[in-house]
A and B are shown apart, each in its own frame.
Chain A
Amino acid sequence: MKAKKIRVLVAKPGLDGHDRGAKVVARALRDAGMEVIYTGLRQTPRQIVETAIQEDVNVIGLSILSGAHTHLFPEIMRLLKENKAEDIIVIAGGVIPEEDIPELKKVGIAEIFTPGTDTRDIINFIKEKVK
């Protein structure tokens, strides 16, 4: 019985109450054959990292609209490191200003998908990274 599956946590940090984008991505990843753990709205960095560890995911996909990414994302990366789970690939999507992207990549976010990204690009990126 051998059946490796890519496991992805789709999480929504921050306080805004919209998760349409996150749900669209979650469904697209499922349809691409992945196991998607969906946790709902308003997750704290600690909740996200703890869930990622228990679920042993390959990827965390963060969706954000509220603009709080500049402090939430580094905090998530810090907690991953603290838990020796920095091998988990972190990607992000949502409304993220162009000028913030280099800084986020520097703290270890593997890729940032801005609004209008084709979900197929996200799928390909994940499949390429998780080998």
Chain B
Amino acid sequence: MEIVKKIINGDRRAAAKLITLAENDFDKAEDILKELYSYTGNALVIGITGPPGAGKSTITDKLTKSLRKQGKTVGIIAIDPTSPFTGGALLGDRIRMQDLSTDPGVFIRSMGTRGHLGGLSQVTQAAVKILDALGKEVIFIETVGVGQAEVDIVKVADTVVLITMPGMGDDIQIIKAGIMEIGDIFVVNKADKEGCERLITEIEMMLDLNQNGQWRPPVLKTIATSDFGIQELEREIKHHLEYLKESGELEQRRRESAKKEIFDIIQEKWKEILADSVSNEFLNEIVTKVVKRDEDPYTAVKKISDILMYSYTQGGKK
């Protein structure tokens, strides 16, 4: 396929177009992604997450510059929320990465969440593969870590860096809500601000309570705007990668990630088949029956499933 050849030969415009296609019309992108798949699996994927404004983009920028000095190529996928009301999004992460935009060894792509929850992680995984095939050796995924959906996205990463900052009052709350578990490395950024030490202590305490794996996440202090602590963060990322390899967890994680991807796609596919083959009227009728106790939900599901199976064997969606 022409476009696949272009991408593996480093054509960034072809890569950019394929990411757009994956966002706009995944079914069409699939045919290309199928062929691209054998050229992927080489990149190291690092998730960067944390509350709004914690310094995720600034840290990604600094880490990238350092990696570039070592000759490594970098891809960055920066995800920002889409407004549920207008469907629009203001994607501003590049403001902190201005110097990177003309570096041929770096490719940055901003994405809106677009309200498709399962779909987003499917598209993100596709974007990672595209940048991987384009030859990027390290790929960062930046997401705002506020909801479960965003957390789900960075779960596909090999290493997750959780960035927070002092003085938010409830930042520790944000970390508690199911996000704590996914951090492999914790960073308290904006260490030039008051409350840094206290936040570190709180995180350390929580980590001690939640200790369950072999890897005890380190808690680092950074001032991203002045490079303070960036080298150590880089060292810890390397250290974590070594751990992943030695312990066999890297393979385990990649299995999990592949499994998640398969299930994400199955879910999306069946949702589409459902939307295409069962009319709203029919669904409404069934719901009415279930509410009136004329039918139980289990039988209703069986009926719908039969229709789905039939549609599927008949060639599925239109």
CB distance from B239 to the nearest CB of A (A): 31
What's the A-B contact tally at a CB cutoff of 8 Å? 96
Interface residues of A in 15-47 (CB under 8 A from B): 26-27, 29-40, 43-44, 46-47
Q: Are B101's CB and A35's CB within 8 A?
A: no
Is A124 interfacial (CB-CB < 8 Å)?
no
CB-CB nearest in chain B for A23: B90
Q: Using a Cβ–Cβ cut-off of 8 Å, how many residues does chain A contribute to the interface with B?
A: 33
Among B16-24, B42-50, B175-183, B248-256, which stretch is in contact with chain A? B16-24
Bound complex: CA of A50 vs CA of B90, how far in Å?
A: 19
Question: What chain A residues lie within 8 Å of B19 (beta carbons)?
Answer: 56
Once the chains are docked, how many angstroms separate the CA of A33 from the CA of B85? 9
Which residues does chain A contribute within 8 Å of B91, judged by CB atoms? 35-38
Within 8 A of B (CB), among A35-82: 35-40, 43-44, 46-47, 50-51, 53-56
Residues of B within 8 A of A40 (CB): 94-95, 98
In the bound complex, do residue B101 and residue A47 qualify as a contact, i.e. CB atoms below 8 Å apart?
yes
Pick the contact of B102 from A7, A29, A36, A46 — CB < 8 Å?
A: A46
A74 CB → nearest B CB, Å: 19
Bound Cα distance A26, B92 (Å) = 10
Q: Does B89 contact A54, Cβ atoms closer than 8 Å? A: no
Q: Is the Cβ of A38 less than 8 Å from the Cβ of B98?
A: no
Identify B90's interface contact among A30, A53, A85, CB under 8 A.
Answer: A30
Min CB distance A129 to B, Å, is 17
A39 CB contacts on chain B under 8 angstroms: 94-95, 98, 101
Q: Is residue A2 within 8 Å, beta carbon to beta carbon, of the partner chain?
A: yes
CA separation between A87 and B94, bound complex, in Å? 23
Q: How far is the CB of A118 from chain B (nearest CB, A)?
A: 18
Give Cα distance in the complex from A60 to B13, angstroms: 16
Q: Is the CB of A131 closer than 8 A to any CB of chain B?
A: no
Contact A1 B272 (CB under 8 A): yes
Residues on B with C-beta less than 8 A from A85 are 13
The secondary-structure label for the interface of chain A is mixed
Closest A-chain residue to B26, C-beta based?
A1
Show 8 residue pairs from A and B whose CB-CB distance is below 8 angstroms, ordered by the A residue: A1-B26, A1-B116, A7-B20, A35-B112, A39-B95, A40-B94, A54-B16, A56-B13
Q: Establish whether residues A32 and B98, one from each chain, have CB atoms under 8 Å apart when the complex forms.
A: no
Contact A56 B17 (CB under 8 A): yes
Q: Which residues of chain A have a CB within 8 Å of any CB of chain B? A: 1-5, 7, 26-27, 29-40, 43-44, 46-47, 50-51, 53-56, 83-85
A51 to B90, CA, bound (A): 15
Whether, in the assembled complex, B12 has its beta carbon less than 8 Å from a beta carbon of chain A, the answer is yes
CB distance from A32 to the nearest CB of B (A): 6
- Chain B contacts of A56 at CB under 8 A? 13, 16-17, 19-20
Does the CB pair B13–A31 fall under 8 Å?
no
* B88 in contact with A3 (CB, 8 Å): no
Nearest-neighbour CB distance to chain B for A108, whole angstroms, equals 18
Interface string of B164-185 (1 = CB under 8 A from A): 0000000000000000000000
Name the residue in A35, A40, A85 with the highest tally of chain B Cβ atoms < 10 Å from its Cβ: A35
Using an 8 Å CB-CB cutoff, how does the interface string of B82-126 with A read, 1 for contact, 0 for none?
Answer: 110011111110110010011000011110101010010000000
State A31–B90 Cα separation when bound (angstroms).
9
Question: Which residues of chain A have C-beta atoms less than 8 A from B94's C-beta?
Answer: 37-40, 51
Q: Give the residue among A4, A38, A56 with the most B Cβ atoms within 10 A.
A: A56
* Contact among B90, B110, B116 for A3, CB-based, below 8 A: B116
